Amino acid sequence: MPFDLPASCRRRTALGALAGAFAVGACAPFAPAPTARRRVLLSEGAVRIDVIVEGQGPALVLLPSSQRDSEDFDGLAERLAAFGFRVLRPQPRGMGASAGPMNDLTLHVLAGDVATTVRQLGGGRAVLVGHAYGHFVARVADLDHPGLVRGVVVAAGAARTFPPGVPRSLAVASDPAQARDARLRGLREGFFAPGNDPTPWLEGWHPALREVYSRAGRTPAKEVWWPVSNAPILDLQGAEDPWRPPATRNELKDVLGDKVQVKIVPRASHALIPEQPAAVAQAIADWIGTLPP
């Protein structure tokens, strides 16, 4: 059912990052030529899933990165909707109006929330776009619910083994208790390429959920899902992403072969999507055009 804006959206509006648009039940879109946008609250037992919905056509599900919510995708979602997709953005549990048991949260549980979204709003089949941590969820959804997954976009997926030092940039950037300059330095070191503005990412973090999602990301172990895929994969990498050094560009393709297409986005780091939303949208749309129905 449609419902009013969550507090996080109202907060960002007040900060000037996004304009309010209560007439359509969501934050105002980032890109020009806006498409209709609404929010839907799904129910599945004790679970409530807050989903931002826009566009018509084949379903795409956007899954956000660590400690961040799906409002990060405003600019990308509008562009994809304009390309003719139905774009679904389920908020992770504990963010927006999404709620459900948080004890014993795992990637299997989070993948189940994605499956509910695809069944109820995506016509039973969708391409999943997972940004950084979100690609853990997308890959496990493909493992657990292969009939629902048409393809997986790994957007700014880190190397299989994280390079030394880069997790510290996340810890500093996401911590509101740190000094602003330190956080900006962490964002520039770990998330934004030179010349790209990191200041919007001073907001939008959910640090209280850091530990529960960190634990969830360890079950199942990466060795279970990383070398397996039922669906085709687009491995979309920022050219200047320290989490994905050049030597690791083809590590997923080396394991999964022709199931994987690697695409490098210039002038982008680990944040990727807010850095180059137009290039990311075009790459996703082009790749989906190569998939079977």
The residues spanned by each domain of the chain are 38-162+210-290
DSSP of 73-86, one letter per residue?
A: GHHHHHHHHHTT-E
For residue 293, what are the CA distances in angstroms to 176, 257, 290? 44, 21, 9
Superfamily of domain 38-162+210-290: Alpha/Beta hydrolase fold, catalytic domain (3.40.50.1820)
Q: What percent of the chain has pLDDT over 70?
A: 88
Distance CA 194, CA 188 (A): 7
What is the per-residue pLDDT for 30?
38
Give 45-83 pLDDT, tens digit per residue: 999 999 999 999 999 999 999 999 999 999 999 999 999
Give 185-198 pLDDT, tens digit per residue: 999 999 999 999 99
What is the per-residue pLDDT for 4?
38
What is the per-residue pLDDT for 33?
52
CA dihedral for 258, 264, 265, 269, sign (positive or negative): positive
Rg (CA), the chain: 17
Evaluate if pTM is beyond 0.75: yes
What is the per-residue pLDDT for 36?
87
- pLDDT > 50? residue 15: no
Give 101-135 pLDDT, tens digit per residue: 999 999 999 999 999 999 999 999 999 999 999 99
Helices (DSSP H) in the chain: which residue ranges? 7-15, 74-82, 107-121, 133-144, 166-173, 180-190, 210-216, 222-225, 251-256, 277-288
